[in-house]
Every structure is written in structure tokens, then in C-alpha cells.
Chain A
Amino acid sequence: MHYTLQFRSIREYLPLLWDAAYTTLYLSILAIILSVIIGCGLAIMRRSQSRLTRFVAVAYIEVMRNTPLLVILYIVYFALPAMGLRFSSFAAALIGLTLNSAGYMAEIIRAGLVAIAHGQFEAARAQGFNPVQTYRHIILPQVFRVIYAPLGNQVIAVILASSLASAVAVEDVASWMQTVGSTSFRFFETLLVAAAVYLVLCQTVNLIRLAIGWMLFRDNGVRR
């Protein structure tokens, strides 16, 4: 192997990398926020009294968890326009990523809800709390502690999965890697740079997670 790394030839593409990293981060953060909201709804639906509501939630979660994200993205970006629903690349990627991640978020949040003793619900009801108040003041704060660690994993999973947005022409880091690799013929260097960007993003999230976990739960001996 006589391969010498030459980062000089990709230096001119680095400003583009900045935009690409911004797109990756922006897309991931939006998808995470939206999927937490939808995931909460799904998790609560799974505990509903109505069989139909439970079935809808379970069906959604199972479909999303058992279908590749790439296929979901293709369906949103290529197939839905055939039905008259046309999205931009970014919107399609955001929709696909959010729908997919919501399935996982729902399971994480449900695991948190299951961990809460039933007496908590009954006590809240006995106090005259309505369901919204019960969840807001009693249940969710406790759930948050339980789901903190898996939620962090899912945040990282979404950042990594957002790289598939490049398959529907979103100009993110993975797409930067493919474009610059094929124009500069320095595939190896662009791969290393892109890998480093994802590595830094994910490990930063990891550190932030540890720091926040330490600040919030240091007295409770909760797994971080």
C-alpha cells in the first residue's frame, strides 16, 4: 500500500462541509423533537382503554421498527408524489426520519411509563387530577429519569440515520462526502473527514448527555 493522504486537494470544499454539518444537525434536531412529541402520543395511545387505539399505535410502531429507513425515505420522496403529495428533499427527509424515529421513541417512552407504579396514577386521580395534569405533573417527570439513557442512545441513532437523507438529495455531511469524493477523486480523505464530523457530533452529544445526567440525577443513583 503506497497511498499518501492529500488533504490539500479537498481544502477548497471545506466551507461546503460547514453548511453540510449544519444541515445534518438541523435535520437531526428537528426530527428528534418532532419524534419525541409523536412518540409520547403513541406511547399514551398504547395504554388506552380502547382496543382500536391500542392496535393503531402498535401497528404503527411495528411497521416503523421493521422497515428500513431508506425504504421509508424512498416512499416519502419518490412514491408519494405519484399520489399528488410532493415534498422538497429536506421536508421528505425530515418526514421519513421523524416517522421512523417516532416508532422507537414510542417504545422508549412506553418502557418509562411501564416503570411507573400504578399507584401513582391512582393517587393522582384521587387528588382530582385530570389525565393531562396527571401526566404533566406526576408521571412525565418520573418517566424522564427512567428514559434518560435510552433517549440519549436514540438521539445518537437519529444523527447517524440522518446520513440517509443524502439518498434523497439532502446536502448533508454524507452527501458532501459523496459529491466531493467524486469530484476531487480523493475518496479516502473525504471519507475520513466525514467520519470525523459524525464522530465529533456523536461524542459531543454523549458528553453533554453525561454532563446533564450528572447534574440532574447525581443524588438519585439513577443509571445515566
Chain B
Amino acid sequence: MNHDLFSYLPLFLKAAALTIWLSWLALMIGAVAGGLVALARTSRWLPLRILALIFVEFFRSIPILIVLFFAYFGLPVMFGIDISTFTAATLALALHATATMSEVMRAGIESVGRGQWEAAQSSGMTFGQTMRHVVGPQALRVVLPPSVGVYVTTLKESSLASIIGYVELTKTGLLVRESTGGGFAPLLMLGVLYFLINYGISLAGGVLERRYNVGTKPLLAGGGQ
């Protein structure tokens, strides 16, 4: 192990914090937007259902790298505006998270029996009240554990932000590697840090799962990037 490398540790930790923040932001946007898309997918109005389905299928059939390039290079060309690497990365990750979270949310909404809706409706609750007091809390138990998986996926995908030059964890590792004259250690350090962060999140997810007493398999085989 390179001796210099430990002097870079604070830098690595700061970058790790940026990575966590970037993916958390994307996940939160994805959760809200994904909830809306899930509602659209369960809507009674067919065109809305089709539109939501196309959105989800589109973003699940396109590599996140292309979405990222679209946000960073495509949008400025199209609208003549400049987009920071951070904004572009957040946007791309959030779009992808929206597509996956909408499936998670849909499973959550559908897991609550129709009777619950009807009962709430017949006791005079509005749609908002039904969501907030009856369906929401029940759906949350189903939604929480797979959301942890989506967060891990988003965190891993955030490494792609390094390709458009945003200095998060991966880019930091590459820069440190360059300034220390190449070699094995900085990249290995990256792998170890990502593993520790994600494994920590997965373990926390396991704790949540036990607390809410729901056994869930990883909902989507989000294998890859």
C-alpha cells in the first residue's frame, strides 16, 4: 500500500460524502416523482397509464450513461443554457431513480387491498386523506425495503458522474491515482469505500426490514451499472 495514500484519506472521505449526497438527492426526487408516475400508472384514464408506461419502459431500456450525456450535452444544445456537472448528474440519476421507484411505489400501492380504498371512501375520506391515513402507512412497509436497494443502485450509478467531470468519489480516486503516479492502491481504495458505504446501507436496510417485519426480496434485478 502506497504510504502517501493515507494523506489523501480526508479527500476521499469528503468525496464520499458528495457521492452520498448526490445519490440521496436523486433518490428523494425519484421517490416523489416516482410516486406520481406510479399514481399515473394506476390511473383510471388510459392515455395517462400508457404515457407513464412509456416513460418507465424508456428509462429502463436506455443506459444511464446516455441519459447523463443527454442532460450534460444535449440540453445545453437544445435550450442554449449551461448546465453544471452536478445538475446534470442529479437530473440523470433522478430520472433513472424515478423509473425504478415508480415500480416500487406501484407494488406498494397495489399491495394495499381494494377493500381498504373502498372502506376509506365510504367513511367519507377524500383521496388525500385516504392516501395519508389509510393507504400510505401500509404501502410504506412494502416500499421501504426495496427503496434501500434503489438507493444502493443510485449510489453505484452516481460513479458515472465522474465521466462528465463531476468530482465525486470515483473522479477523486482517478485524480489521486494520477497525482501519485498511477498504480493499484487508489482504485482499490475506491472499491473498498463504495463497498463499505453500500454494504452499510444494505445492513441498515436489513434492520429496517426486521423492524417493519416485512420479508422482501430485492424487487428489481437492477444488476449492473
B65 and chain A: residue at smallest CB distance: A163
Residues of A within 8 Å of B199, CB to CB, are 62, 66
Please name 30 pairs of A and B residues whose Cβ atoms are closer than 8 Å in the assembled complex, sorted by A: A3-B78, A3-B79, A63-B195, A66-B152, A67-B191, A68-B158, A68-B159, A69-B156, A70-B160, A70-B163, A70-B225, A71-B187, A71-B190, A74-B170, A74-B174, A75-B187, A78-B177, A79-B183, A101-B223, A104-B221, A108-B221, A156-B60, A157-B221, A157-B225, A158-B224, A160-B64, A161-B63, A161-B225, A181-B69, A187-B69
Q: Which residues in B have some Cβ–Cβ distance to A below 8 Å?
A: 57-58, 60-66, 69-70, 73-74, 77-80, 152, 155-160, 162-163, 170, 173-174, 177, 182-184, 187-188, 190-191, 194-195, 198-199, 202, 217-218, 220-225
Binds B, one of A12-20, A123-131, A194-202: A194-202
Partner of B63, one of A63, A108, A174: A174
Inter-chain CA distance A105–B223, complex, in Å, is 8
Q: How far is the CA of A14 from the CA of B162 in the complex (A)?
A: 28
Q: Is the CB of B61 within 8 A of A156?
A: yes
User: Given A63-B195, A101-B224, A187-B69: A68 and B156 within 8 A (CB)?
Assistant: yes
Nearest CB to that of B157 among chain A residues?
A68
Of all A-B residue pairs in the complex, the 3 with the closest CB atoms, nearest first, are A161-B224, A104-B223, A163-B63
User: B214 → chain A, closest Cβ, in Å?
Assistant: 17
Bound together, the chains give a CA A164 to CA B195 distance in angstroms of 19
A191 and B225 in contact, given A1-B78, A78-B187 (Cβ under 8 angstroms) = no
Contact in complex: B202, A66 (CB < 8 Å)? yes
Are A66 and B195 neighbours in the complex by a CB distance under 8 Å? yes
